[in-house]
Copies of this chain bind each other. A is one copy, B any other.
Amino acid sequence: MDASDALAPIRDRFVLDDDTAYLDGNSLGALPRAVPGRIADVIAREWGELRIRSWTESGWWTAPERIGDKIAPLIGAAPGRVVVGDSTSVNIFKAVVGGVRMAGKGCTEILVDATTFPTDGYIARSAARMTGLAVRPVEPARIADEVTERTALALVNHVDYRTGELNDLPAITHALHSAGALAVWDLCHSAGALPVGLDAHHVDLAVGCTYKYLNGGPGSPAYLYVRESLQERFESPLPGWNSHADPFAMDPGYTPADGIRRGRVGTPDILSLLALEAALEAWDGVSIEAVRAKSLALTDFFLECVNAYVPPGLVRSLTPHDHQRRGSQVSLACSPQLSAAFAQGAAPVAGQVMDELIRRGVVGDFRHPDVLRFGFTPLYTSFADAERAARVLGEVLGALPDVAPGAAGTGG
């Protein structure tokens, strides 16, 4: 399968060692080879020699929009609709408050994906508190039924961080629009792994991080998308000087910039931005459709290998088998039988299993209470990685004394 994989050569654009099957790119993407040299030059020459001149001469000032335009094609956005900077949480605040301010006067609530990554819910509640609205958690599949004319917007995760389930962005966006509400999507776990189609599906606002499938580095800056027709009405709750129409006029009165620059806040974080820009070079000549095809092939193959290698009944996939509902990770829940075999009290079983996998060179992660997560980054994950991960998982679980088929653990 690796021999016939057209994306296989892209793996050489990353720093990876063959001792490790790195399946945690959905948490922190691997290091792209273009980054170290680029950042060495940014530090030594652009900062060290040109110093202040680099704000203009090295293009620092315009980096947030320029890099936004490089992310745009990966999420189906035209140029001028994406700006990079600040954390995902800060961008969620901009998007939710900005969305509420564009919504109808009679709106009283925000819907939030009930299974959301927690920061989305925390920030949405803060945004609701500060704009006088209420938050109502709703399962993504129920949004079409639950949205009302009092709904300002819904904040939804495109892919669920825990289960890897892909939510139906076109249908949910359409349902929200039919009720007069805005659609705000969190793309953290989908951007760079599958086509998003923001413009095509008329998404209103979106945010996403860049350190997972976009490989921008630890804590690299997030991005904000604002639909073109809404940009003029977008009022940021964080109107920093970088979002002013003429920042260097040092005008005491605030006039927002035209276009997506309005989503900027303070002085952009240049080292991290330019590391991200170099990281995005790994996408040269790669289509997101090819990435999606490989992602599904990888997760299909991994699930098949898990079935083949892991004694039955010990783990159960939380990730849908239906391609239409699957992101680019596989989450396996540990069975109560496993808990019995493992439990010594302190650490959760899934944590103990993952620790053992990591000791054996298979790197995924775990999430409370019982979930093993394996992320598949089509730019660098091989089918051999997928086979190895399932095989080592089978070895670790199969070697447990109490988990032979039919054995019932007693705990202790």
Contact = CB atoms under 8 A, between A and B. Distances in A.
A259 interface: no
Interface stretch (A5-13, A37-45, A313-321, A404-412): A37-45
Interface stretch (A163-171, A270-278, A388-396): A270-278
B51 A43 contact: no
Contacts of A51: 22, 24, 28, 30-31, 363
A265 B90 contact: yes
A267 interface: yes
Nearest to A116: B252
Given A36-B44, A239-B122, A272-B271, A87 B87 contact: no
A118 B218 contact: no
A121 interface: yes
Interface stretch (A175-183, A190-198, A240-248, A288-296): A240-248
A47 B16 CA distance: 11
A31 B43 contact: yes
A213 interface: no
Interface stretch (A71-79, A124-132, A225-233): A124-132
A346 interface: no
B269 A220 contact: yes
Contact of A122 (B43, B122, B241, B270): B241
A280 interface: no
A283 interface: no
A387 interface: no
A68 interface: no
B39 A269 contact: no
Interface in A76-108: 86-90, 93, 97
Nearest to A48: B31
B119 A240 contact: yes
Contact of A89 (B137, B209, B266): B266
Given A51-B24, A87-B86, A122 B244 contact: yes
A47 B218 contact: yes
A240 B31 contact: no
A217 interface: yes
B87 A252 contact: no
Interface stretch (A52-60, A142-150, A304-312, A326-334): A52-60
Nearest to A123: B240
A27 B28 CA distance: 33
A250 interface: yes
B118 A241 contact: yes
A15 interface: yes
Contacts of A89: 238, 240-242, 265-266
B47 A119 contact: no
B40 A122 contact: no
A379 to B, nearest CB: 15
A233 to B, nearest CB: 16
B121 A266 contact: no
A251 interface: yes
A250 B39 contact: no
Given A217-B271, A220-B269, A239 B123 contact: yes
